[in-house]
Amino acid sequence: MAEVESFRDRISTVDKEGKRVWIYPKKVKGKFMRYRSWVSYTLLALLLSGPFLRINGEPLLMLNVIERQFVLFGQIFWPEDFHIFLIGTLCFMLFIVLFTVIYGRLFCGWICPQTIFMEFVFRKVEYWIEGDWRDQQALDRAPWSAGKWMKKGSKHLIFIVLSVFISNILLMYIIGSDGVLSIISDNPSEHLGGLIAMIVFSGAFYFVYSKFREQVCTTVCPYGRLQGVMMDRNSIVVAYDYVRGESRAKIRKGEDRKLAQKGDCIDCHHCVDVCPTGIDIRNGVQLECINCTLCIDACDAMMKQVNLPAGLIRYSSEEGIANSRPFTWTKRILGYTAVLAVLLGVFVLLLITRTDVETILVRTPGMLFQEVDSNRVQNVYSYKLINKTKRDIPFEFRLIDRRGEIKPVGKLPLLKSKSLAEGSLFILLDKGEIHSMNTKLRIGVFENNVMVEDFNISFVGPIQ
Ligand code: SF4
Ligand code: SF4
C-alpha cells in the first residue's frame, strides 16, 4: 500500500534530485475543451473590458487600496463603508468554501484567471509557435540554431508583450484606466511609483507564465492547499472510475475484455499525456488536480476509438464511483447554504440601504446644555458629512419629529463631490419636547428639500 500511495510523497513536477520536471501537455480536443473555451474567452473579454465600462461615470470595479477608494458596480465605497466590504468578503469566502464542498475545484478549471491565462492565452501561443508536445520536446532537445532562436525568441517576445498588457489591465483595477493611461502617456519621472509597479507586475506575469506555470497551482495557491480540508467523499471532482477501469490492460484486437477479465482502461496513457500538472488521475483524487477536464476529453476520445462507452473519467464523487451512488445533499452542504443565504441577504440589504451621504453628528464633548430663554434649551454639536457621489451637494439639517430649530455656526458649506464637510451647530428644543435627561431626536439631511439621510441623536436637557 505504501508503494501504491508513494506518488503522494512528492509532486509530479519535481524529480528525485529535486529538479524541475518540465511538463509538455499534449493538445486535446473535445466537448469540455469547447465549453471551457467559451467560458474562458467570455471571462477574458469581461476582464479586459471591465476597467473601461462605466456606470454613472464610475468604473464597474476599482479597488484603489493606495488611496482607499473602492468602486463596485459604479458605486463609490469609502473606508466608512468597511462593514459592507467585510460582509461581502465573508460572503465570498463562504461561497468559495460551500462551492468547493459541493463541486470540488470547479473554480480552478473553469474560472481561475491563472488557468485561463495559462491554458487559453500563453499555452495557445506556445502551441502556435512551437507545435504540439512532441515538437516542443524535440525543439528543447535540439542544439541552438537560427530556427530555434527564432521560435524561442518570438515566443518570449509575445509572452513579454502579453505580460505587460495583462499587468496594465490589472493595474487599471487598482488605480483606474485614467491613472494607467496617464502613466503611459506622461513623462515617466512624474509617475515613478506607478511605473515601477507596472514593471514589477509585468515581470511577475512573465515569470509565472513562461517559467513557473503549474507550480502556482501545485505549490503556491492557498486555495489549492485547502482542498483537503474542504472536500469530502461526496464532493464532485474529475474522477477516474476505477470500478469500471480496473484492472487496466492494453487492448487486443477483437478481444472481449470482460471474458479476459480486463477493465475498460486500455492503459493508453493519454489522460496523463494531456495533464497540465503532470499527474495520473488513475491514482485517485490529488491536490495537484485543477479539474481542468482535459483528461476527460482525452479518455472519451480513446473510448470512442475502441468502441467502449465514454465517461471512464468523468465528473463524479468518490462515493459515486465506489458505490454507484448519485449526488446527495449532506447536512454540511445544507448548513453552509443556509449561512450563505443569510449573509447574502444582509449584504444585499446593506447595499440597498446604503445612502449617498453619510453623516456623523455628535454632541461636542465637555459642553453643557444651555437654557436660551424661558422656553428653549440648546446643545452644541459637531458634524461631519461624507459625500459618496460625484456631484456637489448643497445640504441643510432639519428636525423631523420635534419642535425646535437647528442653527449652524457660520454658513453651511457646500458638500463637494467625493469629499467631506465638517462644522458645528446648535440644536434648540422647546422645553415642552424634553421629557427625560436624554431626549431622542430624529434629524434629516436635506438636499434641495429632498431628504438624503436621517438618523437619531440624543439631546440633553432638564426634565420638565
Ligand atoms: S488530472 Fe485531469 S482534470 Fe486533473 S489536472 Fe490533470 S488533466 Fe486536468
Ligand atoms: S485515457 Fe482512459 S483508457 Fe487511457 S489510460 Fe487514461 S483512463 Fe485509461
For residue 238, is it within any domain? no
Ligand 2 centroid distance, CA of 296 (Å)? 9
Residue 418 pLDDT exceeds 80: no
297 burial (CB, 10 Å; 0-12 / 13-18 / 19+) is buried
Amino acid 292 reads: C
* Closest ligand 2 atom number to CA of residue 295: 1
Is 237 close to ligand 1, i.e. is its CB under 6 Å away?
A: no
**Average pLDDT for 196-210:** 93
Residue 460 grid coordinates: 440633553
Q: Report which of residues 239 and 343 the model is more confident about.
A: 239
Ligand 1 centroid distance, CA of 106 (Å)? 11
- Distance between CA atoms of residues 260 and 262, nearest Å: 5
Which-ligand-closest: CA of 281? 1
Which-ligand-closest: CA of 284? 1
- Distance between CA atoms of residues 101 and 211, nearest Å: 32
Residue 152 pLDDT exceeds 90: yes
The string of pLDDT tens digits covering residues 74-127 is 777 777 777 777 888 888 887 788 788 888 888 899 999 999 999 999 999 999
Angle between helices 146-185 and 123-130 (to 10 degrees): 150
Measured in degrees and rounded to the nearest 5, phi and psi for residue 412 equal -65, 130
The string of pLDDT tens digits covering residues 161-181 is 999 999 999 988 888 888 888
Residue 6 pLDDT exceeds 70: no
The string of pLDDT tens digits covering residues 438-454 is 889 999 999 888 888 88
Residue with cell string 462605466: 54
For residue 395, is it within any domain? yes
- Asked whether the beta carbons of 223 and 266 are under 8 A apart, the reply is no
Is 172 close to ligand 1, i.e. is its CB under 6 Å away?
A: no
For residue 448, is it within any domain? yes
Ligand 1 centroid distance, CA of 240 (Å)? 10
Is 289 close to ligand 1, i.e. is its CB under 6 Å away?
A: yes
The CATH number that applies at residue 372 is 2.60.40.10
**CB neighbour list of residue 184: distance below 8 Å, 6 or more residues apart:** 168
Which-ligand-closest: CA of 33? 1
Residue 1: the pLDDT is 43
Domain ranges, residue 435? 357-460
Ligand 2 centroid distance, CA of 137 (Å)? 22
Among 435, 454, 432, 430, CA closest to 443? 454
- Asked whether the beta carbons of 51 and 172 are under 8 A apart, the reply is yes
Which-ligand-closest: CA of 299? 2
Q: pLDDT tier at 2 (50, 70, 90 boundaries)?
A: very low
For residue 6, is it within any domain? no
- What are the Cα distances from residue 183, in Å, to 65, 68, 167, 190? 18, 19, 13, 8
Using left for φ > 0, alpha for ψ between -120 and 50, and beta otherwise, residue 403 falls in beta
Share of the chain above pLDDT 70, in %: 97
Q: pLDDT tier at 5 (50, 70, 90 boundaries)?
A: low
For residue 456, is it within any domain? yes
Helix, strand, or coil (residue 347): helix
Residue 242: the pLDDT is 93
Reported as type and span, the H/E element at residue 185 is helix 146-185
Residue 98: the pLDDT is 79
Residue 464: the pLDDT is 65
Q: Report the 10 Å Cβ neighbour count for 187.
A: 6
Residue 241: the pLDDT is 93
Ligand 2, atom 3: closest residue by C-alpha: 265
* Closest ligand 1 atom number to CA of residue 238: 3
**CB neighbour list of residue 164: distance below 8 Å, 6 or more residues apart:** 198, 202
For residue 368, is it within any domain? yes
For residue 350, is it within any domain? no
Residue 7: the pLDDT is 63
Residue 89: the pLDDT is 82
Amino acid 228 reads: G
For residue 454, is it within any domain? yes
Is 277 close to ligand 1, i.e. is its CB under 6 Å away?
A: yes
Residues with CB under 6 A from ligand 2: 240, 245, 248, 265-271, 282, 298-299, 302, 312-313
Number of folded domains in the chain? Answer: 1
Is 208 close to ligand 1, i.e. is its CB under 6 Å away?
A: no
Residue 193 pLDDT exceeds 60: yes
Q: pLDDT tier at 11 (50, 70, 90 boundaries)?
A: confident
Single pTM value for the model: 0.79
Q: pLDDT tier at 310 (50, 70, 90 boundaries)?
A: very high
Q: pLDDT tier at 286 (50, 70, 90 boundaries)?
A: confident
Ligand 1, atom 6: closest residue by C-alpha: 275
Residue 163: the pLDDT is 97
